[in-house]
Chain A
Amino acid sequence: MHNDHDHGHPHGKDHDSGPVGAYEMLEEAVRTLLIERGVLTAQEIAASVDLMDSRSPALGAKVVARAWADPAFKKLLLADTRAALMRMGIDIGPAPEFATVENTARVHNVIVCTLCSCYPKMLLGIPPAWYKSLAYRSRTVADPRGVLAEFGVEIPSSVEVRVHDSTADLRYVVLPMRPKGTRGWSQDQLAAIVTRDCMIGTARCRVQ
């Protein structure tokens, strides 16, 4: 129970006690109608929520760690991301397609969706709020180096910055560069330094 703690922070509208907002009422009305009309069942909705909850950046980190440790897997990941993920037991569903872009000493990739907020959810889970913000979406395509600098990532002018605007049926994931000082590490150790932002391109992987 989260209502039996004694500190005094205000409870937001995601708690049962707050007032119900317009979108919550709309969601409930649509959901109730879909169930009543036999379009969906409550079990199907719950299963869908469970599936989304099973995806998180930790899953993506495992994939990156394996790509760093296993050259044949990395080759497959870059050529056919769907097949590579399936080899690790990760099913991304029938659509959208996935593609992996590799950061190297010469190219730094960063992912954005200017039209809405397309994101590789079936690998990384729910996107961070800033990824969906108008500021990130509009500024990343026009001034990627400025945005990256605000994330603490300075890209030297000798390195090409390549922005990927996920405009249609593909979702992009960045394969970050493996940092120095990680030779001989296990895949678990490697996965621990791969953060969500490394796979969006707004961070570099670093040895702590």
Chain B
Amino acid sequence: MKARARPGRNARGAARFAPGDAVRVAGRDALGHCRTPWYLRGKIGIIASVHGSFRDPESLAYHKPGLPAHVLYKVRFKQSAIWGAYKGPDSDQLEADIFEHWLELLDRANRE
């Protein structure tokens, strides 16, 4: 089998955020293709894990190389923090994969 680069497994050291950090998704607009859903823009979540770095879909979509790659995170949101009128229990959550350039640090996790 041909060995292929697996960008998702590299560059973890370059990640600006770590699990437990509180982040806010940028509330800005985006022209063209992007992978940050509207319903999460401006919402506050917690970094659940660091996936590694992946080529930028906002440039890949237009036949460009998608470089530099961006770090992708799994971000966990409380459902009640997304939807004002969420009907389920407070413990319900939603996870989405969000690129670093869409995230702003709010609060560092307490790390010993």
Indicate if the CB atoms of A167 and B36 lie closer than 8 Å: yes
Asked if A103 is at the interface (CB within 8 A of a chain B CB), the reply is no
Provide the residues of chain B in CB contact with A91, threshold 8 Å.
Answer: 1
Chain B: which residue is nearest A168 at the CB level?
Answer: B97
Asked if A166 is at the interface (CB within 8 A of a chain B CB), the reply is yes
Indicate if the CB atoms of B94 and A168 lie closer than 8 Å: no
A165-B35 CB under 8 A given contacts A94-B6, A97-B51, A142-B83:
no
Asked if B107 is at the interface (CB within 8 A of a chain A CB), the reply is no
Indicate if the CB atoms of B37 and A162 lie closer than 8 Å: no
Indicate if the CB atoms of A162 and B51 lie closer than 8 Å: no
The interface on chain B, measured as residues whose beta carbon lies within 8 A of the other chain's beta carbons, has a size of: 29
Asked if B13 is at the interface (CB within 8 A of a chain A CB), the reply is no
Indicate if the CB atoms of B4 and A162 lie closer than 8 Å: no
The interface on chain A, measured as residues whose beta carbon lies within 8 A of the other chain's beta carbons, has a size of: 24
Indicate if the CB atoms of B35 and A167 lie closer than 8 Å: yes
Chain B: which residue is nearest A114 at the CB level?
Answer: B37
Cα-based distance from A144 to B77 in the complex (angstroms): 14
Provide the residues of chain A in CB contact with B94, threshold 8 Å.
Answer: 141, 162-165
A168-B72 CB under 8 A given contacts A141-B39, A142-B83:
yes
Provide the residues of chain A in CB contact with B89, threshold 8 Å.
Answer: 157, 160
Indicate if the CB atoms of A164 and B95 lie closer than 8 Å: yes
Cα-based distance from A114 to B37 in the complex (angstroms): 8
Provide the residues of chain B in CB contact with A160, threshold 8 Å.
Answer: 89, 91-93
Cα-based distance from A97 to B72 in the complex (angstroms): 12
Cα-based distance from A160 to B92 in the complex (angstroms): 5
| CB neighbors of B among A163-194 (8 A) | 163-170
Indicate if the CB atoms of B39 and A162 lie closer than 8 Å: no
Cα-based distance from A145 to B89 in the complex (angstroms): 10
Asked if A45 is at the interface (CB within 8 A of a chain B CB), the reply is no
Indicate if the CB atoms of B88 and A97 lie closer than 8 Å: no
Interface bits B67-84 vs A (CB < 8 Å: 1, else 0): 000001010000100110
Cα-based distance from A142 to B1 in the complex (angstroms): 42
Provide the residues of chain A in CB contact with B8, threshold 8 Å.
Answer: 95, 97, 169-170
Provide the residues of chain A in CB contact with B87, threshold 8 Å.
Answer: 143, 145-146
Asked if B96 is at the interface (CB within 8 A of a chain A CB), the reply is yes
Query: Separation in Å of the A146 CB from the closest CB of chain B?
Result: 7
Asked if B54 is at the interface (CB within 8 A of a chain A CB), the reply is yes
Q: What are 21 A-to-B residue pairs whose CB atoms are below 8 Å?
A: A97-B6, A97-B8, A114-B37, A114-B39, A142-B39, A142-B83, A143-B87, A143-B88, A144-B92, A160-B93, A161-B88, A163-B95, A164-B95, A165-B97, A167-B36, A168-B97, A168-B98, A169-B97, A170-B8, A170-B51, A170-B72
Residues of B within 8 A of A (CB): 1, 4, 6, 8, 35-37, 39, 51, 54, 57, 72, 74, 79, 82-83, 86-89, 91-99
Residues of A within 8 A of B (CB): 91, 94-95, 97, 114-115, 141-146, 157, 160-170
Shortest Cβ-Cβ A-B pairs, 3 listed: A168-B97, A165-B96, A163-B94
